[in-house]
C-alpha cells in the first residue's frame, strides 16, 4: 500500500513540476529582460542587440534593456551572463567571439559550454577586409605585397582579443606568409577612429559596420572573407578570388541564456526569435547588413557552437596563434 501511495505521490509531483514549468514559460517575461552586449556601443553586435531587443520587447510587452559590458574578447560580458540566475532575465547576444574565446584563452572565468544555454543562431556572416584611404593597396594582392615589403610595419585592428576580426587576421597572416601586427580595441566603434586616422591600416569588419563606413567614403573595401560574393556588395571580390585560394572565414551572431535555464523558456525565446526572423521586414534588414538570417533551434545552435570551438582550436593551432593567459 505504501509503495502505491509513494508511486502516486511521485506521479503527481512530476505532473506538478511539468505543469509549473509550462506555466512558468507561458508567463515569461513578467519583468524587464537584460540583454548583455559584450562589446562597446556603436558596433555591429550592439546595433543588432538593440534591433532584436526592440523586436522582442514588442512581442513580450516588456522592456529589453541593452547592457554593454566590453572587454577581454567578449569574456567580461559573457561572464556577467554565466554568473546570472538561470531564469532568462539576463541574456547574451554575441558573435562567434564566444566560441573563439573558448579556443584562444587558456583560462576563462566560466565554463564556455556548461555555463551557457544556446538559444538561437540569429544569422551567419562573413567579415569584410577593409583598408583606410591612406593604405597604398587597393586589393588583397597589393596588400600582401605591401606587407612583404615592410615586415612588421602594417597594423590591423580588431574588436578585441578573441574577436572574429582577430582570428580572421591571424588566418590571413598565416596563409599569406606575412608579418602584420594585431592591435585589439574594446569594440569596433572604439577602433574606428584609429582605423580612419591610419593608426591601424586595415581590419576585418562586420559587414554592417564595413558597409556604413564604405558608403560614407571613409574606408575602402578590399575583399569579403566568405566562399562567395555577397548580395549587399556584389562588386567586392572574395579573398579566394584574389590569390589566397584556401582562405575562408565565417562567423555568426546568436543568443545565449545562462546554463541551466529551464528548457520551456529557452524553447519559447527561440520560437519567438524564429518568428521575428521569419518576417520579410527583418530578413531585408538583416541582409542589408550583409548577414544571412538563420533562426535555429536551441539544439541546432548548441551543436554548431560546440563544433565551432573545435574549428577555431584548429585554426589557432595551424596559424601558430599564441594562447592568451
Q: What is the pLDDT of residues 177-230, one digit of tens each?
A: 999 999 999 888 899 999 999 999 999 998 888 999 999 999 999 999 999 998
Cβ count within 10 A of residue 15: 10
Taking only the tens place, the pLDDT of each residue in 282-306 is: 999 998 888 999 999 999 999 999 9
Contact 144, 242 (CB under 8 A): no
**Grid coordinates standing for 48?**
543588432
Q: For residue 281, what is the DSSP state?
A: H
pLDDT of 32 > 60? The answer is yes
Residues forming a β-bridge with 253: 95, 123
Contact 58, 263 (CB under 8 A): no
- 83: in domain: yes
Q: What is the pTM of this model?
A: 0.78
User: Per-residue pLDDT averaged across 22-47, rounded?
Assistant: 85
Instruction: Give the 3-state secondary structure of residue 219.
Output: strand
43 & 71 share domain = yes
255 & 235 share domain = no
111 & 84 share domain = yes
**Grid coordinates standing for 245?**
585560394
Give the highest mean pLDDT range of 35-39, 160-164, 204-208.
Answer: 35-39
Minimum mean pLDDT range among 4-18, 46-60, 311-325: 4-18
pLDDT of 255 > 80? The answer is yes
Residue 72's CATH number: 3.40.190.150
pLDDT of 14 > 50? The answer is no
Helices assigned H by DSSP within the chain? 2-27, 44-60, 75-82, 97-104, 140-149, 164-176, 188-196, 207-215, 263-277, 280-288, 298-318
In this prediction, residue 160 carries a pLDDT of 85
Please provide residue 181's backbone torsions phi and psi, each rounded to the nearest 5 degrees: -110, 130
- 222: in domain: yes
Q: What is the mean pLDDT of the chain?
A: 90
pLDDT of 240 > 50? The answer is yes
103 & 153 share domain = no
In this prediction, residue 71 carries a pLDDT of 87
233 & 177 share domain = yes
293 & 147 share domain = no
User: Per-residue pLDDT averaged across 269-273, rounded?
Assistant: 98
Q: How confident is the model at residue 20 (pLDDT cuts 50, 70, 90)?
A: very low
CA distance 77 to 86: 16
108 & 257 share domain = yes
In this prediction, residue 26 carries a pLDDT of 64
Contact 252, 124 (CB under 8 A): yes
Minimum mean pLDDT range among 112-121, 134-143, 306-315: 306-315
Structural domain that includes position 212: 128-242
Instruction: Give the 3-state secondary structure of residue 65.
Output: strand
165 & 205 share domain = yes
Instruction: Give the count of domains, the chain.
Output: 2
Amino acid at each position: 500500500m505504501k509503495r502505491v501511495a509513494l508511486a502516486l505521490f511521485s506521479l503527481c509531483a512530476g505532473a506538478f513540476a511539468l505543469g509549473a514549468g509550462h506555466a512558468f514559460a507561458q508567463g515569461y517575461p513578467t519583468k524587464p529582460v537584460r540583454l548583455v552586449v559584450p562589446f562597446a556601443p556603436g558596433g555591429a553586435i550592439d546595433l543588432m542587440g538593440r534591433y532584436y531587443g526592440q523586436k522582442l520587447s514588442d512581442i513580450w510587452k516588456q522592456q529589453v534593456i541593452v547592457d554593454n559590458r566590453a572587454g577581454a574578447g567578449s569574456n567580461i560580458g559573457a561572464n556577467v551572463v554565466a554568473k546570472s540566475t538561470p531564469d532568462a532575465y539576463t541574456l547574451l547576444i554575441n558573435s562567434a567571439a564566444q566560441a573563439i574565446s573558448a579556443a584562444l584563452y587558456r583560462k576563462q572565468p566560466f565554463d564556455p559550454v556548461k555555463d551557457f544555454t544556446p538559444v538561437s543562431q540569429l544569422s551567419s556572416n562573413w567579415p569584410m577586409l577593409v583598408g583606410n584611404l591612406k593604405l597604398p593597396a587597393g586589393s588583397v594582392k597589393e596588400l600582401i605585397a605591401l606587407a612583404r615589403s615592410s615586415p612588421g610595419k602594417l597594423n590591423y585592428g580588431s574588436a578585441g582579443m578573441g574577436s572574429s576580426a582577430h582570428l580572421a587576421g591571424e588566418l590571413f597572416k598565416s596563409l599569406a606568409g606575412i608579418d602584420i601586427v594585431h592591435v585589439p580595441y574594446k569594440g569596433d566603434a572604439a577602433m574606428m577612429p584609429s582605423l580612419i586616422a591610419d593608426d591601424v591600416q586595415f581590419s576585418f569588419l562586420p559587414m554592417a559596420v564595413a558597409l556604413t563606413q564604405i558608403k560614407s567614403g571613409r574606408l575602402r573595401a578590399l575583399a569579403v572573407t566568405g566562399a562567395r560574393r555577397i548580395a549587399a556588395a556584389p562588386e567586392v571580390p572574395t579573398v579566394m578570388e584574389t590569390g589566397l585560394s584556401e582562405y575562408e572565414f565565417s562567423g555568426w551572431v546568436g543568443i545565449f541564456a545562462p546554463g541551466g535555464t529551464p528548457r520551456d523558456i529557452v524553447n519559447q525565446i527561440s520560437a519567438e526569435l524564429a518568428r521575428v526572423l521569419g518576417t520579410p521586414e527583418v530578413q531585408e534588414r538583416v541582409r542589408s547588413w550583409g548577414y544571412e538570417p538563420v533562426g535555429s533551434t536551441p539544439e541546432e545552435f548548441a551543436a554548431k557552437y560546440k563544433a565551432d570551438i573545435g574549428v577555431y582550436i584548429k585554426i589557432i593551432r595551424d596559424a601558430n596563434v599564441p594562447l592568451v593567459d
